[in-house]
Amino acid sequence: MSDERHKRPKRPTGESFEDPTETLAGDEIASGLVSKRQQAYLIVVSGGRVGEMVRVDERLVIGRAIDVDFRVDDAGVSKRHVEICKTDTGMEVRDLGSRNGTFLNGERLERQQLRDGDKIYFGSTTILKFSLADELDESFQKHMFDAALRDGLTSLFNRRYLEDQLEVEVSYALRHVIPLSLVMIDVDHFKDVNDTYGHPVGDRVLRAIADCLRGAIRREDLATRYGGEEFALVCRATPAEVATMVADRIRSTLARGPLLPDIPELHLTVSAGVAALPGHELRSADELVAAADAALYRAKDAGRDCVRCHGVDDKG
């Protein structure tokens, strides 16, 4: 018995026989962790949308116009201000005849070759950093951006992002006299869902509602989780009557159900409030939120499962 004990291998320090360390070849480590493909990106380091990473392929046009590739709401930025484009020798930045000019590392330019780490300045607050990054860099940057600005449960943008972006959207809408609508949506009697089915089911309900919102809006619109069981939609270039129709379509879709196919008896409704620019003396993001919120409370007072619009008489 003692001889057999002496023949047993000793357990290596820091390891167990149940969980041995796998031996990897050097080329396996390199191929698994390092991407050799360099891709051009712009990272927003100052101004609106700080931290966002924008991929640049053949050409990227930047400005205040709605139809540009990357829109920047900055009073000093022209509608089509600057472009980044691919050339035979790399990437180049070109000013598009902007009123206030474009600056590279502090010097005004017309067109200039870009190097990794260059900073592009334009407008009153906008600074973009040019970066040559691999897929790991892109994934990390996107993860950090999403973690700061997206809701962990629904993957919608969070309230912080809404508040920051709404300031930009309201400023743009007022300056250019373009309609802008805000829709506030609240789940009716959501506490009953949690009390009856439990919080895991409640979380699934919120995710399903988020999916419904994503499917109901255009690409240029914004869906956010405002907090708890309340959501908000920002609808660009959309007057109040159209936003009200969108909100009512969402309401009726959710009311028809079932929201969760495996729990067909679970039915819920939502109430919504709409406020829009221009009109009704609303001149700021805070006033727009307050007006949409007041309209939402009118919908609750009217019996829930309905939509009310700020400035429109309640006709039941």
> What pLDDT digit, counting tens, does each position of 43-87 carry?
888 877 777 888 899 999 999 898 899 998 787 899 999 999 999
SS3 (DSSP) at 227:
strand
pLDDT: which is higher, 113 or 312? 113
- Which residues are known catalytic residues? 229
Judge whether residue 3 has pLDDT over 60: no
Euclidean distance between CA atoms 71 and 222, whole angstroms: 14
Higher pLDDT among residues 15 and 172, named by residue = 172
pLDDT at 33: 45
The rounded percent of the chain whose pLDDT value lies above 70 is: 82
Band (25; pLDDT cuts 50, 70, 90): low
Q: How far is CA 33 from CA 22, 28, 136, in A?
A: 16, 8, 8
Q: What is the average pLDDT score of the chain?
A: 86
Report the pLDDT averaged over residues 104-129.
93
- Helix ranges (H only) for the chain are 2-7, 26-33, 135-149, 159-176, 190-197, 199-216, 240-256, 285-301
* CB-CB contact of 230 with 186 (8 Å): yes
Strands (DSSP E) along 37-81, which ranges?
39-46, 53-56, 59-63, 70-71
| Residue with the larger pLDDT of the pair 139 and 106 | 106
Q: pTM for the full model?
A: 0.67
Summarised one tens digit per residue, pLDDT across range 202-248 is 999 999 999 999 999 988 899 999 999 999 999 998 999 999 999 99
In which band, very low, low, confident or very high, does the pLDDT at 290 lie, cut at 50, 70 and 90? very high
Beta bridge partners of 93: 84, 112
- Contact present, 141 and 49 (Cβ < 8 Å): no
